[in-house]
A and B are shown apart, each in its own frame.
Chain A
């Protein structure tokens, strides 16, 4: 009973400390939140990575080429085009780009540039009057002016990418014209127009425009997975584990602090055994980390929509992590004598072991972590905790997380025994 009284007292004190609460809950959520908002809150839905819509103003001055005309049946979006400029404009206006661009049309180049200068548009696309003409001329060079707001990067890049892909496909038509001209020796505009139309007709119809730009990540093992949401999820997992170990060590530090404050010696003057007193303090460390991890997992789900995986493996990994974090704290504090030393440990050892443990998360972007990093992370409990939680998040079964849990519990036993023996010796 006294064990529980001591644990409740310690927990009450922990949860009354603003500093402790900030590091238990505030910092991990804040760190994850930073990444979450950095990626535009993408983890909220399964819609993929979203970018801001770019306002594009088009000045289509193209008067068409000699006899140039693409039939609606040949044109990907089913619209009759009198010039190559028309085709570009129609393509950009396609609904599949509606979440990327907002297209408006003006009569002249100056008006288009003025809209960019006045920050009413991000990009101005100026198609010159002789664009189709030059395109039709096998020796000519057809150019489009892309006038952009210099402060923007993503939007203009997307417009440029769409145009490039469109022009690539149009170059095929030009190549066809070139071949026909060389073979027949004809430069008759009617023939050239016919070739272009036939080439366009040969391009597969349907949702062709979608192929012009693919913003989706390369296919993963689970096509529904949202890459950014996944990154945010693993960052939250990493933060939860890092700060669980921080809390374990910080809470265990109360043993040293109470010794310095005189309350621990006073406890030893009461008819309470040393085992009960230390047991109560150890229990407080474990329960505090349980509360912290549970709250962070729930808030991670509610705030960031993180899918933590199946309940049973999650509970097993969480409890194993709690054991490791609590006993690691007890072990670390048993090696120290003053709270001044403990401050250095909190800042140094936890950061180093935490970083080692989270190498897998840091190297997510590069696809795989180096072998030495994997090896190094397996020497610290944080590494196994990250491994276990990552497995659960990747839909691992109970059996698949057993190794990680066993490693965590094995380390916990060693930490606990060493810590208890050292504390018992100190207070004997």
Chain B
């Protein structure tokens, strides 16, 4: 079966900064594939190359068989792109926006009108279709932003961090719409720095950091990387620097990272490690105010692979 997306050794640099370094992955038709990584990992640059907005310095990618280097128009015709920023005209209504973008995707006449109505229904804005976008809430704008990419019923959709900066209700609505797209057979390439989203949505996940793909596989496959290790989140009443280096040397601790007074520790066995952490803290006059022990997850994987928390 033809791969929906086949990325082969993509490279992109901006001056001295290497934004993407040898990224390769494959996405099967009908899959949701997530690129997970912190800000600046190279996710958006990868998406931009796959959308034919940026020319790769090296490598190639094929979208339903169309090369991003040799057949940009072929790629664009089978592709829907939901950019990270809300990219539409705020001084036009939702209906006017959808109609305009539909025309850009080659829709005309009755087919365009019908499809605009369908998309308005899908994004739940039929009743407010005549209002200018500038009057919408952030969540509503995000929904229109997604709706534009659905107009021409693309077989492949890229979604670049579509849930950034919106309320939980709108976020849930967007995640549901992504799952619905999968049910309809659409291939989705989804970028996020929210571990929970990647975990919930994805058939396959690739973890990116500093322009490189550091791991990929299903959620279960990735979690296996950290084995049976526990992830312990410890909050202290002092600066984390006071205990960070010491705790890295505590027996049973594999990795430690710190963020805003909270330390995340990967440990073989939390029951054995925790008393040692308390003891170490006490000798430095640091009080532990809360402890949270979690089963291994994607954040543990990222911490294990990079030594940093996903949101660092």
Contacts and interface: CB of A to CB of B under 8 A. Distances in A.
Contacts of B103: 1-2, 5
Contacts of A268: 52-53
Contacts of B52: 268-269
B83 interface: yes
Nearest to A10: B89
Residue of A13, A267, A270, A271 most packed against chain B (CB within 10 A):
A270
Given A5-B104, A271-B77, A262 B83 contact: yes
A272 interface: yes
Contacts of A337: none
B81 A266 contact: yes
Contacts of A45: none
A13 B104 CA distance: 17
A13 B93 CA distance: 11
Interface string B75-108: 0110101010111110110001000110111100
Contacts of B285: none
A425 to B, nearest CB: 13
B13 interface: no
B76 A263 contact: no
A13 B92 contact: yes
A9 B100 contact: yes
Contacts of A9: 89, 92, 100
Nearest to A262: B87
Contacts of A12: 92, 96
B122 interface: no
A273 interface: yes
Nearest to B48: A265
A13 B73 CA distance: 28
Contact of B83 (A2, A265, A272, A273): A265
Contact of A269 (B79, B91, B92): B79
Contacts of A1: 103
A271 B91 contact: no
A257 to B, nearest CB: 11
B73 A271 contact: yes
A266 B87 contact: yes
B300 to A, nearest CB: 34
Interface string A6-40: 00010011001100000000000000000000000
Interface of B is mostly: loop
B202 interface: no
A261 interface: yes
Contacts of B92: 9, 12-13
Q: How large is the interface on A (under 10, 10 to 19, 20 to 34, 35 or more residues)?
A: 20 to 34
B239 to A, nearest CB: 39
A272 B148 CA distance: 15
B89 A5 contact: no
Given A12-B92, A13-B92, A273-B73, A265 B87 contact: yes
B104 A270 contact: yes
Which of A261, A267, A269 has the largest number of chain B CB atoms within 10 A?
Answer: A269
Contact of B76 (A16, A261, A262, A271): A271
A386 B81 CA distance: 48
Contacts of B104: 2, 5, 267, 270-272
B100 A266 contact: no
A422 to B, nearest CB: 18
A269 B84 CA distance: 13
A365 B189 CA distance: 69
Interface in B276-295: none
A5 B87 contact: no
A263 B87 contact: yes
A267 B87 CA distance: 9
Contacts of A273: 73
A265 B86 CA distance: 12
Given A270-B76, A271-B73, A271-B77, A261 B87 contact: yes
B191 interface: no
Interface string B221-232: 000000000000
B108 to A, nearest CB: 8
B93 to A, nearest CB: 11
B105 A271 contact: yes
Contacts of B100: 5, 9
A269 B88 contact: no
A261 B92 CA distance: 14
Contacts of B88: 263, 266
A16 B91 contact: yes
B297 interface: no
B51 interface: yes
Given A5-B104, A270-B101, A271-B105, A263 B89 contact: yes
Nearest to A272: B104
Nearest to B84: A262
Interface in B52-83: 52-53, 73, 76-77, 79, 81, 83
Interface in B168-204: none
Interface string A132-148: 00000000000000000
Interface in B110-154: 148
B73 A269 contact: no
Nearest to B47: A269
A261 B96 CA distance: 18
A1 B105 CA distance: 12
Contacts of A2: 103-104
Contacts of B101: 270
A269 B53 contact: yes
Contacts of B83: 262, 265-266, 269
A267 B76 CA distance: 10
A398 to B, nearest CB: 40
Given A261-B85, A262-B87, A269-B52, 6 more contacts: A262-B85, A263-B88, A269-B79, A270-B105, A271-B76, A271-B104
Interface of B: 51-53, 73, 76-77, 79, 81, 83, 85-89, 91-92, 96, 100-101, 103-106, 148
8 contacts: A1-B103, A2-B103, A5-B103, A5-B104, A262-B83, A262-B86, A263-B89, A266-B148
Interface of A: 1-2, 5, 9, 12-13, 16-17, 261-263, 265-273
Closest 4 CB pairs of A and B: A262-B87, A270-B104, A266-B87, A271-B76
